[in-house]
């Protein structure tokens, strides 16, 4: 059977590190508050002039190198981001130009923190159908230039970091489904009733104004993320645990069978709660939020790359992924690495 295998993983974070103590200098917050409530100790922020596609280029080249491929081997780019280079066109087009591979398909997806899982499923389906053989899936974000650095926005501003993660998916004829490395499958969900619990209202066509951006919009801070943190927290724990349970059951595997869990990195307490509900041993969950904060669509591939470098992710391991984010969107996937 024709299936997708991850044959390359890469990542990139900007050089500039911003610790919680650095944040104390310009924001009414404290290291103690951030660390206790989220587990975050630091995050990386892009330099002025560094765009989402710039970060993605570095992560993509890293992933291509680890796969032993060059960009000209690719058939398609799937780009997950909520912080695009521009309002339109999609950031995949800008990345494609930077990779120098004009002509191949590019697809931007707007599934926020679940973007990597949606992208994985889309790539998997293109490969299963035999349409494409080599797909670059990249999650990349530059949050730093879009955060409210006043007390009004401090609940959100302390959470997000900039970064990028990428994988290369390749078509593979799976002969031994019990042992071969491939994407086994997964499930995806959304509930638009939660759309305004975590969102950036402007610019947008639904604001009921003659211009997408005007002074009132800017003064009201509608171009900054708005979040109902408590509601999002509860929904994230519930839906990630539910989805992961369904995904494992559907594939006839138990928590004991899974070697490593990579969860979206929004809050260490969310991930600890999911692990506790499902009786997942702490050492099986690979968290990176302490170092990178929430890099949205990049958290899972960035985590996989960190785990590879640390020798915590090895060929043949059974790996489960789960995410929850704005939309609401959520899901889970299972793969043998």
Sites of contact with ligand COA (CB under 6 A): 29, 33, 37-38, 113, 154-155, 158, 198, 229-230, 232-233, 236, 266-267, 270, 294, 324-325
Residue number with CB closer to ligand COA (12 or 324): 324
Q: Which residue has the tokens 């930077």?
A: 98
Q: Which is nearer to ligand COA, 18 or 76 (CB)?
A: 18
Residue with tokens 């591939």: 301
Strand partners, 181: none
Active site residue 294: yes
Q: Which of 247, 264, 267, 287 is catalytic?
A: 264
In the numeric block, which tokens belong to residue 303?
A: 């985590």
Distance of closest approach, residue 30 Cβ to ligand COA, in angstroms: 6
3-state SS assignment for residue 199: strand
Q: Report the residue number, 7 or 190, with the smaller CB distance to ligand COA.
A: 190
Of 20, 44, 93, 113, catalytic: 113
Which parts of 5-110 fold into alpha helices (H)?
20-24, 31-38, 52-67, 91-99
Locate tokens 């519930």: which residue? 238
Peptide bond into 190 cis (omega under 30): no
Query: In the complex, what is the shortest distance from the CB of residue 194 to ligand COA, in angstroms, rounded to a whole number?
Result: 11
DSSP state of 160: B
Return the half-sphere exposure (C-beta side, CA atoms, 13 A cut-off) of residue 56.
31
> Do residues 290 and 19 lie in contact, with contact meaning Cβ atoms separated by under 8 Å?
no
- Mark whether 113 is an active-site residue: yes
- 267 annotated active-site: no
CA pair distance 245, 242, nearest whole angstrom: 5
Structure tokens at 151: 């007390």
Least gap, CB of 193 to ligand COA (angstroms): 16
Query: Smallest distance from the beta carbon of 299 to ligand COA, in angstroms?
Result: 9
Nearer to ligand COA, 71 or 232 (CB): 232
Q: How far is the CB of 229 from ligand COA (least distance, A)?
A: 3
Q: In the complex with ligand COA, which residue's Cβ is closer, 181 or 294?
A: 294
Hey, which residues are catalytic here? 113, 264, 294
């Amino acid at each position: 059977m024709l299936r997708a295998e991850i044959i390359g993983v890469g990542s990139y974070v900007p050089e500039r590190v911003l610790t919680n103590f650095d944040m104390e200098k310009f924001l009414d917050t404290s290291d103690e508050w951030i660390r206790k409530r989220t587990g975050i100790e630091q995050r990386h922020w892009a330099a002025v002039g560094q765009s989402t596609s710039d970060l993605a280029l570095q992560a993509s080249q890293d992933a291509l190198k680890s796969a032993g491929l060059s960009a000209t081997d690719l058939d398609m780019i799937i780009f997950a981001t909520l912080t695009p280079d521009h309002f339109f066109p999609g950031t995949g087009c800008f990345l494609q130009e930077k990779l120098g591979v004009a002509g191949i398909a590019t697809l931007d997806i707007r599934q926020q923190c679940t973007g990597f899982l949606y992208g994985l499923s889309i790539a998997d389906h293109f490969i299963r159908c035999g349409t494409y053989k080599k797909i670059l899936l990249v999650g990349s974000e530059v949050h730093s230039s879009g955060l409210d650095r006043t007390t009004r926005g401090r609940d959100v501003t302390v959470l997000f970091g900039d970064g990028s993660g990428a994988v290369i998916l390749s078509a593979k004829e799976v002969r031994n489904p019990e042992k071969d490395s491939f994407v086994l499958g997964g499930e995806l969900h959304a509930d638009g009733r939660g759309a305004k619990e975590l969102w950036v209202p402007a610019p947008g066509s639904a604001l009921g104004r003659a211009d997408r951006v005007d002074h009132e919009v800017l003064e009201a801070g509608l171009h900054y993320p708005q979040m109902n943190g408590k509601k999002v927290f509860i929904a994230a724990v519930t839906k990630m645990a539910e989805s992961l349970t369904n995904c494992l059951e559907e594939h006839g595997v138990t928590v004991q069978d899974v070697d490593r869990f990579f969860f979206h990195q929004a809050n260490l307490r969310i991930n600890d709660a999911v692990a506790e509900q499902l009786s997942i041993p702490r050492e099986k969950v690979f968290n990176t939020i302490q170092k990178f904060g929430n890099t949205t669509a990049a958290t899972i591939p960035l985590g996989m790359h960190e785990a590879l470098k640390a020798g915590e992710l090895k060929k043949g391991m059974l790996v489960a992924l789960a995410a929850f984010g704005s939309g609401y969107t959520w899901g889970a996937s299972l793969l043998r690495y």
